[in-house]
Structure 1
């Protein structure tokens, strides 16, 4: 699959799993897509794509832990500041606030059931969050491991379309 042509150094974060933890930052320059590990939320990109994120907010996962701070187990910055995880809900979270966020799920994924709650939590934090449920695009049968499935090239098309449309809307494509 060829990389989308997006002009001039714009970035969007593509992550799988927990928010605000290691993911990949996709940076476009001169029509190519370069990937680099993203270990912290440094200089926030203009948008975020969450592929099958963990949730719902504050969930407990036996053997893995708890999403203590909403969609992550690590403390996050809130505005106004939260001293305790119980204070996070309904507060602005600067990292996603004001940015478009797509929450991508496969139709056969256990994660699809709580994706609306993830979108709601992000919207409550100030993000322009929306679901991208693959069956809504005619792509069916996918579970949680979208990137590992035989039709992974097909499953990424709605994501790329969303990225391009989002950047275009914000005046960032050629």
Structure 2
């Protein structure tokens, strides 16, 4: 039996007020159709950076990242992001966390405890995912959580 569920699984949620909203998405579909919006991209990995880069030409894009620098993105994405920052095509709010999502804005808390309010139309959240580990274990399949690799062969 082959179970091909990918590495991302179910998108991880921020668990903030009003996260369940039509303005919030966990994957980017048809970026070429999105224009004239104020967009917040949440996350610090390749998915977040690549999405911000795809959206920047027709929208105002801001990235919220909980750490003080991008440390795990691919070198090519790092170069493209630095060029976009230099050209002021993307804004990055380092050491920030979303605390609330409203219909026309988002609230972020920075490392020093201050709150920042951003007018906002769309939020894209790329903060990882959760694999269905419990489901697989209940089905008798032992897995490593880190990569979902089988550690014990199932025999009938």
Give TM-score scaled by structure 2 length. Answer: 0.33
User: Which protein has the bigger helix share?
Assistant: 1
Greater Rg, structure 1 or structure 2? 2
